[in-house]
Chain A
Amino acid sequence: MRDGWQQRIDRASALAATADATRPLLESYGRLLVLQRDCYAALDRQADRLSGSLERDLTVVAACVPPILADLAATGPPSLAEDAKRTLDAGESSIASMLVAGWRAPSDRAFFARIVLQPYASWLAARGVALVDRDLPRHDNVCPFCGGRPQVSILQHAPEGEGGGRELQCGTCFTTWPYRRVRCARCGEDNERQLGYFRSDAFAHLRIDACETCRHYVKSVDLTRLGLAVPIVDEVAGAPLDLWAQERGYEKIELNLVGL
């Protein structure tokens, strides 16, 4: 894992302090990160009960859900709070089913499952506990650890090189893996004429890597321009770029936790 929960929380707070349009979103995301950090800590305290099989780990993982739902029901935006309360009221078996469904068929739109499965998957990745009950497609455009789709692309200096080498970061377990620079992170298109990079001066270290073949995109965080950036958080801070791209018909490979 590239960065820790506290580092993400601090970065979200720092960005929110200086942002204008994205401040409410970053503050909300910061609160979600706090909930995820606490979830991760709760999982870590029961490390000896986690096996890499969600069905066997379900008791431990599902126990993280009610506190998160209760918090969201109390402090979340009205429609989200309403959904959180309804999910909480549906009972333990419903929560367990939600988690299993979200694990077997990951969806970036399954908000409540994802907010818990991200800490769970990242804990497994950090400890090197292999997943035993999840199909792992062997393609280089999905996470080599959990099979998740990339949330963000990262450009940074290679240890022995000078150019901006590229990595993708998983939207589920936050594992990073190397990926070719001039290539679509979804369909593998490598015809340069089909790939476009969109950048705004308002976000000097962010850009949209778009593919005209599959009409999908992923945002890149350029650490050669801003080494302080925390990719998974700075990606959220670039939300206006998402809306710009989506208005032009591009679809994001993997939505972030706040749905953009």
Chain B
Amino acid sequence: MAISRRTFLQRSLAGGAALTAFGFDITPVYAQARSLKIDRTTETRSTCPYCSVSCGVIIHTLGDKAKNAVPQVVHVEGDPDHPINRGTLCPKGASLEQDIANDRRLLKPQVRRPGSERWEDIGWDQAIDEIGRLVKKTRDATFVEKDPRGRTVNRCEGIAFNGGCTDTNEFNYLVVKTMRSLGVCYLENQARV
């Protein structure tokens, strides 16, 4: 015999009837439910950017999907279902949240002049001009067109480029194209560390 529909669940407060589930009084539960402050998060699977192991991560983002709300990353953890890392992360990967949400993150270019002990803010245009001028000066001074045996090598041995572990594929593609066009041989990336 099935339990009666009346006993199963009475949810209407109309007429002052108590809320019940299977006859159990849930009026106080309902009252608490009305007072709850609920946060919505999403879990997004992604890949750790730090090295070529490519561990799986789950990024927790707080936000109710409202159009005027900015989603905020609140937690990053290893993906327990990922076949490479099975939920584990190295110390760098475990600190990914701080890479995304960090008030010390640099948002504008800075320069430390030769002999100076402090970094100073400069504008983007000034930074690009100075970098361009110094690259040209260094390349002109150190460019090797032919090696001692007379073979054409077109090497720029006075410049090295070190990439960062959070650089994107697209950025790294442009780096290689740009540096090779200058003749730079010494290309390295911190992700290899």
Contacts and interface: CB of A to CB of B under 8 A. Distances in A.
Contacts, number: 164
B81 A241 contact: no
B174 to A, nearest CB: 29
Interface string A50-90: 00000000000000000000000000111111110011001
A163 B20 contact: no
Contact of A195 (B37, B42, B88): B42
B178 interface: no
Contacts of A215: none
B26 A200 contact: no
Given A161-B88, A181-B58, A196-B42, A77 B33 contact: no
Contacts of A244: 33, 36, 38
A227 interface: no
Contact of A77 (B20, B37, B41): B20
Contacts of B25: 24-25, 77
Given A163-B80, A180-B81, A192 B43 contact: yes
Contact of B80 (A28, A76, A181, A243): A181
Given A87-B1, A192-B44, A259-B8, A164 B29 contact: no
B30 interface: yes
Contacts of B60: 197
A260 B26 CA distance: 9
B123 interface: no
Contact of A161 (B2, B6, B20, B80): B80
Nearest to B65: A196
Contacts of A242: 33
Task: Say what secondary structure dominates the interface of chain B.
Answer: mixed
Interface residues on A, range: 35 or more
Nearest to A23: B28
B6 A197 contact: no
Interface string B72-90: 0000011111000111110
A6 interface: no
A85 to B, nearest CB: 11
Contacts of B58: 163, 181-182
B4 interface: yes
A199 B79 CA distance: 20
Contact of B36 (A83, A240, A260): A240
Given A202-B36, A241-B36, A258 B24 contact: yes
Contacts of B20: 77, 79
B39 A80 contact: no
Interface in B17-61: 20-26, 28-33, 36-45, 58, 60
Interface in A196-240: 196-202, 239-240
A197 B32 CA distance: 19
B185 interface: no
Interface of B: 1-4, 6-9, 20-26, 28-33, 36-45, 58, 60, 65, 77-81, 85-89
Given A192-B43, A200-B39, 7 more contacts: A21-B28, A23-B28, A24-B24, A79-B23, A111-B8, A200-B37, A260-B29
